[in-house]
Structure 1
């Protein structure tokens, strides 16, 4: 028996095994990114987003680190880690289009001199956020949802109705992330 041939054969088998594992890992990452988004994933993300907004206000009301809560919220739900997010908040008229993390954070918690009109939407605070999707369009690794969402003040009173269009994509780890946030009050004709 030729031990050199056996050693070469064994080395080749080990090398092929390692290579196939690496290809498999690479393919699984590709599969995660290109996997089609489902309407249920969008609905789950919306529900969690609303709970996050309520949490920011709760942390603020309890004199906690609400800015850290808002930063975590943005990191969890928005895809700033992989590029620009198109963010058009409801209550903005001077700097109504924002493409960076700093502008979105200011809208939620205020306190940034670059955005003097921001009053801190998420620290209002709110007790509930309810979503009413009019439609969700899914195209591969992107989903767009449009409808109304309703914010209930923590101090009581009627919920406020806001129109929205959100676009989602999956990041490189397969987590659904917002890449477009557009919201505004419904049109109210002058009487």
Structure 2
């Protein structure tokens, strides 16, 4: 037997194993819609994240509880902690550089259980803007990297930070952050 004879039955078994019974079923199987993440959806998610960071700082002027509630809402609506693993490496984290849980991310944003955390989002920042270097769209996931700039409410200065974000679509088709890595540019 030659290799072609051996490969063909394997392909047919694979197609019939997926429920395809005939050529019509096979053609129909090719038209299954897979959710696709778009560049516009990524840009909207980045804008929502930027607005959320500013909102946490604004809420902190009311009370610590208000800031914490805003940060929890950010984590619940923008991150994929409820869908599975999130890889989170905040900018200003040295002793515990990686945050695996929603509670650890909350501590980074508003202070809490981790001693080194003073509440990054409590600055308050008056603006956050993304400058994407590039974005890779891959079906229901995407990666984006570049610089983002945080405008300090105290000094008015912009702080430049490098980032890589990974995004996924949840079951409802919402863009969620699955990876966040931020760092201050090397000098």
TM-score of the pair, normalised by structure 1: 0.79
Structure 1 gap ranges (5+): 1-29
- 1:108-156 per-residue CA deviation (whole Å, 9 max, x = no partner) reads 00021xx110110001110000100000001111100000000001123
2:3 matched to which residue of 1?
Answer: none
Alpha-carbon distance in structure 2 between the residues aligned to 1:49 and 1:124: 15
Structure index of larger Rg: 1
2:105 matched to which residue of 1?
Answer: 104
Q: Where do residues 2-81 of structure 1 align in structure 2 (5 Å cutoff)?
A: 31=33, 34-63=34-63, 65-81=66-82
Contact 2:86 2:179 in 1 (8 A): yes
Structure 2 gap ranges (5+): 1-31
Where 2:41 maps in the other structure, the secondary structure is helix
Alpha-carbon distance in structure 2 between the residues aligned to 1:187 and 1:156: 23
RMSD: 1.2
User: Normalized per residue, which structure has more helix?
Assistant: 1
Tell me by how many angstroms 1:62 deviates: 2.4
Tell me by how many angstroms 1:94 deviates: 0.8
2:173 matched to which residue of 1?
Answer: 174
Q: In the comparison of the two structures, how many residue pairs are matched?
A: 155
Alpha-carbon distance in structure 2 between the residues aligned to 1:35 and 1:185: 34
1:156 matched to which residue of 2?
Answer: 155
Alpha-carbon distance in structure 1 between the residues aligned to 2:156 and 2:123: 13
